[in-house]
Amino acid sequence: DTGVSQDPRHKITKRGQNVTFRCDPISEHNRLYWYRQTLGQGPEFLTYFQNEAQLEKSRLLSDRFSAERPKGSFSTLEIQRTEQGDSAMYLCASSLDLATLSYEQYFGPGTRLTVT
Amino acid sequence: GIQVEQSPPDLILQEGANSTLRCNFSDSVNNLQWFHQNPWGQLINLFYIPSGTKQNGRLSATTVATERYSLLYISSSQTTDSGVYFCAVEEEGGSEKLVFGKGMKLTVNP
């Protein structure tokens, strides 16, 4: 098992452009989470999925943000019409190993977004 | 929602010293995790410890759920222990998300 992976690792975009990030969770996990971290702060929850169902969305997730997990495996997070305030590290995590019933969350390396 | 407070916010140590990091939380929790964030931003799992005591090498952690706090002990610190340490909790009866503290920046000097 290679852990949670995210792509790309870095993204620089101009204000107003759309961006999409991908997360591949640990294969045995059925829960997938997205968090955002700005400089000097702890990560903040954005949304999470159990299998393909999106079960909760934070108020931080404006209408410009959308997340999908179409087949219950990988997930994408899209930001439309990016703003400079969207610049942050976007972290993905997965949990719930049904074999061990462990709820421990494991994080990917993150995608660092810079909006110019 | 649940509040998570970490102390101290910053700590500077000489190599070989011991340290204790504290995490207070305002409500009952289902889950508590300690992480170390490396300079590249990767969150590394240290402990999954909703209650009790665990040890892993030079690190150990204790969570007293009834008193709503957790402690992370680092013994014989090394320069590679430098970084930011986060405590994160999942509120009991709440959603499945982790709520993070603001972190504690540890600097270990040689």
Cβ contact (<8 Å) for A110 and B99?
no
Least confident of A12-21, A25-34, B87-96: B87-96
Residues B78-109 pLDDT 10s? 999 999 999 999 998 877 899 999 999 999 99
pLDDT at A1 over 60: no
With contact defined as beta carbons under 8 Å apart, do A28 and A42 qualify? no
> CA A78 to CA A18: how far, in whole Å?
7
Say which of A42, A103, A112 has its CB closest to residue B31: A103
pLDDT confidence of residue B95: 78
pLDDT confidence of residue B61: 98
Residues B28-79 pLDDT 10s? 999 999 999 998 899 999 999 999 999 999 999 999 999 999 999 999 999 9
Read off the pLDDT of each residue in A72-84 and give the average, rounded to a whole number. 96
* Residue A84 C-alpha from the chain's centroid: 18
Beta partners for A6? A23
Q: Which residues of B touch A95 (CB under 8 A)?
A: 96
pLDDT at A101 over 90: no
Q: Which residue has the tokens 């993150």?
A: A110
Read off the pLDDT of each residue in A86-96 and give the average, rounded to a whole number. 95
CB of A33 within 8 Å of any CB in chain B? yes
pLDDT confidence of residue B96: 84
CB of B41 within 8 Å of any CB in chain A? yes
B8: confidence class by pLDDT, cuts 50, 70, 90: very high
